Amino acid sequence: MDHTLAWFWRLLWILMLWYLPPREVHGFFPNFWSRTMAFTWGSTTHQDMTEDAILNVTIRLFAEMPPFVKGKRFREEDFKDKTLLADDIFAAFYGPKVSVKRFRGAIAQVANANAAMDFENTTRDDPVLHFDSELIFSSNAWLLQTRKEILQAIRSEQYGIARDKLGQLLHSLQDFYSHSNWVELGNKQIHPDLAQPGHEIKSIAEADIPTCSDCIDWTCEGNLLEDVAAKGLLTTGYYGSQPEKPIGKCSHGGRFDDSRHEEPRGGINKDSSSLFFSPHHYLHQEAAALAQEATKHFLEKLWREIGSKQFMRLLDMSPATGLSFVVDTTGSMGDEINAAKNQAREIIDQRHGTPQEPDFYLLVPFHDPGFGPVHKTSDPEEFWKVFDDIIPLSGGDEPEMCLSALELALQYSPPYSEIFVFTDASAKDAHLKNSVESLSQEKKCKVTFLITEDPSRTRVKRETLAPDRFNLYVDLAHSSGGQIIFTDDKNIRQVAKVIGESSISSVTLFRHQKGNIFSLKGSHRKIKKRATELEVHQFWIDSLVDKVVVTIQGAIQAFEIWDPSGNVQMNKFHSGPLAKIESIGGIYRAFLSSPVHAGNWTLKLHSRGHYSVYIQGQSTLDFLYYFAVPVNGRHPGLFMMDSHPIEGLATYLVVMAMGLNQSESGSVQLQAVNLEGRTGSLAEVKLQEGAKRADLFVAELPANLLTSSNFSIVVHGVDGKGQKLERAAPQAATMVGSLLELSRDTPVFPGRPVSITWKVTNPGSYKKYHLKVNSVPQFPVNISRSRLQLGINQTGTGQISLHVPNATAPGSVITVTLQADLLHPAGEPSFAHIYLLVMPPPPVQILVSPVCEIASTETSCGPSQSLCHSMHWTVVLRVKDEAGIRSVRSEGGAVVPHQADGSAELITYTSDCCSQEAKLLVTNLLGEKYQCQVAAPPSALPGKAAPKPPEIVVKAGLAPPPPKALLWWTLLTVFLAIECLGL
């Protein structure tokens, strides 16, 4: 019965797809969710190939390195014929109880950048990026240019940009094996010249060589012409009508390719194992195996070129996190600066050579009116030299440029970083709060503030300062998952030890705040005025948590900690059966004794005012997440959004779990996710496993989830003994009303103008926006329009123009931020960020521009000008550009068609006879522009007919495609027959 129902639903879905409008997306299916949406569970996706290749190369790298755990050798053969999991690989190399969080995050970033090539508007329809339309030369030129950008980003330690570029390159590289006839030519090895500098791809079918025969079946076995195979010519399929498929050429094929109806019909793609999507589906596994092998080959060559250390940093193959400081350098900050230096020196000395050694060090100083520059390095001694030279500057007034410096730190810190801010002043630049909050949530960075407000210290105040002036820091710490700690200069050194406790394996178990004012002065005043109140908090500690620290601050007179068995310890006993308790000024820190008893713990507080509780532990059981929207069409899947979930868009939460098999009691089972607002639970949704992925889960967010405030994501499950587990994501999330996107498809060079495409989508009711744009560094930047009105399901697009000065250093990064303020209805702004890597200028070519050679001409023009509008002339130009051609446009901006001709391209321009010449603007893949001038050929002689373009001849006996009504019955009959036969 279940089998019959499964086929029934599959049939309904296929019939529904037949009526869906085409969506132009390309390549193997993008990710794990594609198999579920398309019922193609046997297909290999871009995500599968990318992740498996990275894990395979990681195993090879670890096997060549000296053993990290003394006496334990990492062996490649231990993983042979096993399902590869990042958890198992890390545990075998680094030992147990080591976090794989950053590594999983890096792999996901590469895989998602790969999949996004099929979803984003600027990439999904570009044949160059998908090895379509025989543009093999230009596609390989794009691979070579992207390879240069990856290497430049790595040299500049811009690993996040390098991962995005790597994912994009691997997508195109993998597409070659699905979209070309490489497999059909009988090749069992990867192409030796793809993405190889100095290598040239030869034997490409030229424009006048037919490649395919007609095929009216769903399976098109043998439709490649024998002459193509005999000569070993490479070809790829054409898709849709841009560019139009020439006579005799192969189509991509599949339901959503309109070109499959034009002779020769059918197609050659091997994207999936489904005959519905892929005419050469029977070769899918061979193509996927070669694509994965090519991915491994590229990754290994990249590793050998840049070295093991850089390659490990590229993919975050370390259980450590970075160390980021944002430090107020005004004259009153001497004690705080020394405390920060002391902690930095201790971490450098204590973690050297251990798995917790930071991968990078970052320092951003600030005062008023200055902030920056950013000092970032992977060399601890270089960092120390810069930090040790920091001294308090003159001045001592308030407020300061704290958020400007924090924004810089967030832009330059990689994901999952922990950033520590030292200051004793409020923020002068409070208008940046929303932007900073958006960046911290996008990058999943924790921000912890260490604030000294010493009653004995006097600052000069430019204005009357509100008693709640630090509330902004409280909100930012809470939304980012960090802490805010108030102390004084006498205790700052002890309090700063919280930095040394930071770890990528830290998990938040509980946090609560009552009120927002935690300053020591404010707390003491309130203790005298308020009666003591008993506050009771319960928190759960599971069997996979250790090294638990309870931090309590504020107006607390006393507290008690109760374990699940009923044992109790009061704060006056600094050393007891449950914890070691430290009192630092007005701050209590309780370090629970190991092993920590699993179960329900209780904290009883006797408070006289505002206070906060923050409880964290360490655990290998953790998760990463992102929000995604389903994309239908020929290659369905889940498109990861860089933003928060959007009201009105069907949205999924994707959860990547770590440490599921690290429990001594057995495997962990994750069951549901709870969305918790400040006033309680907003919704609970069940988790379902991703297809063939035991560590990947999906939950569909409720359609009625509407909230303008932050909410937390809490994952629930049980351990091997059936005891409950829960993990909360450190950062908060927020539903927003609009989706902002920024895109750029050519490299950035010094001294050249940069154009960025922006897009704002409004799934909800009518909205009015004010658009603003800025860049870091502050370069001249303009937006095409600053006011925007969008109705329901409307989209607005435009351009951002940026001028990059000639003196801009190659390897530097420009961060462009688009901010959309809601004018009506009033609401919180939305943000989008794009990170542009500045490349070295391309070498000066001998020729100013490639030569445009006339390949052929045709005209029907005569001597009479009165009939010139009804007569036309055509010129075909042959252009060879080593960078590859991106687009060709006429002076009026119209797109001019061009097609591949081996390693060159043919540009076909047609005009009526009233205009006798034209200038064509050619743009190559580097963004360089040049002109090709064309002129009408001599007029045809009177009385002679002008040649006609060749006609498409339909062979006798070939029926036209069946009408859709007939297809319904055909499909239904086929599938019912399958059911009856028990197939």
Q: Are the C-beta atoms of residues 791 and 803 closer than 8 Å to each other? A: no
Element (H, E) at 124: helix 121-124
| DSSP annotation string for 357-406 | --S-EEEEEE-SS-B---EEES-HHHHHHHHHT--PPS--EE-B-HHHHH
Residues 215 and 306 occupy one common structural domain: yes
pLDDT digit string, tens, across residues 329-349: 988 888 889 998 888 888 888
Is the full-model pTM beyond 0.85? yes
Do both 325 and 308 map to the same domain? no
The verdict on 472 and 548 lying in the same domain is no
Phi, psi of 731, rounded to the nearest 5 degrees: -90, 150
pLDDT for res 33: 63
Is 964 within the bounds of a domain? Answer: no
The rounded distance, in Å, linking the Cα atoms of 636 and 56 is: 27
CA separation for the pair 459, 450 (Å, rounded) = 18
CATH number at residue 770: 2.60.40.10
Secondary structure in 3-state letters for 734-745 = CCECCEEEEECC
* CA separation for the pair 291, 176 (Å, rounded): 8
Burial classification of residue 657, based on how many CB atoms lie within 10 Å of its CB (0-12 exposed, 13-18 middle, 19 or more buried): buried
Q: How far apart are the first and last CA of the chain?
A: 14
- CB neighbour list of residue 977: distance below 8 Å, 6 or more residues apart: none
CATH number of the domain that 713 lies in? Answer: 2.60.40
- Domain of residue 296: give its range: 44-315
pLDDT at site 958 = 30
Q: What is the pLDDT of residue 524?
A: 43
Q: Specify the amino acid at residue 937.
A: P
**In a domain? residue 38:** no
CA distance 297 to 304: 11
Strands, E assignment, 488-632: 506-514, 533-541, 546-562, 568-570, 579-584, 587-592, 599-618, 622-631
Q: Which of 564, 597, 619 is the last residue of a domain?
A: 619
In a domain? residue 185: yes
Per-residue model confidence (pLDDT) at position 521: 46
Residue 757, classed as helix, strand or coil, is: strand
How far, rounded to the nearest angstrom, does the alpha carbon of residue 615 sit from its chain's CA centroid?
A: 30
My answer on whether 298 and 343 are in the same domain is no
Q: How many CA atoms lie within 13 A of 392 on its CB side?
A: 18
Residue 4 is assigned to a structural domain of this protein: no
CA 299 → CA 55, 295, 315, 559, distances in Å? 11, 6, 11, 55
Give pLDDT, residue 118: 85
Helix (H, G, I), strand (E, B) or coil at 920: strand
Is 60 part of any domain? yes
Angle at alpha carbon of residue 682, lines to 677 and 686, rounded to 5°: 125
Instruction: Read off the amino acid at residue 768.
Output: K
Report if residue 520 sits inside a domain. Answer: yes
- 222 with 233, same domain? yes
**693 and 790 belong to one structural domain:** no
Asked if the structure places residue 936 within a domain, the reply is no
Q: How much is the pLDDT for 692?
A: 66
CATH number at residue 344: 3.40.50.410
**Mean pLDDT by 10-residue block, N- to C-terminus, for the chain (983 residues)?**
43 43 49 55 83 96 87 88 90 88 94 89 86 94 96 94 97 96 97 94 93 94 95 93 86 85 92 87 95 98 96 91 89 87 87 81 89 90 91 74 94 89 89 91 90 58 58 90 86 84 83 68 48 91 93 91 96 92 90 94 91 91 90 73 82 90 77 87 88 81 78 91 90 87 92 93 93 93 95 94 94 94 90 94 62 89 84 92 88 87 91 92 89 84 43 30 41 42 41
Query: Are 257 and 356 members of one domain?
Result: no
- Tell me: do 395 and 495 sit in the same domain: yes
Query: Does residue 29 belong to any structural domain of this protein?
Result: no
User: What string of H, E and C letters represents the secondary structure of 7-55?
Assistant: HHHHHHHHHHHHCCCCCCCCCCCCCHHHHHHHCCCCCCCHHHHHHHHHH
Residue 140: count of CB within 10 angstroms of its CB: 26
pLDDT at 36: 58
Nearest-angstrom CA–CA distance, 298 and 295: 5
Report whether 413 contacts 362 (CB < 8 A). Answer: yes
674 and 716 fall within a common domain: yes
Among residues 168, 130, 166, the alpha carbon closest in space to that of 151 is found at 166
For residues 63 and 173, state if they share a domain: yes
> How many domains is the chain partitioned into structurally?
6
Q: Do residues 267 and 257 make contact, with C-beta atoms less than 8 angstroms apart?
A: yes
3-class state of residue 420 by DSSP: strand
Residues 575 and 710 in one domain: no
Place of tokens 């025989």: 134
Indicate if 306 and 348 belong to the same structural domain.
no
> What is the rounded distance in angstroms from the CA atom of residue 613 to the CA atom of residue 448?
14
CA angle 508, 511, 514 (to 5 degrees): 165
Q: What is the pLDDT of residue 41?
A: 55
Q: Which residues pair with 857 in a beta bridge?
A: 875
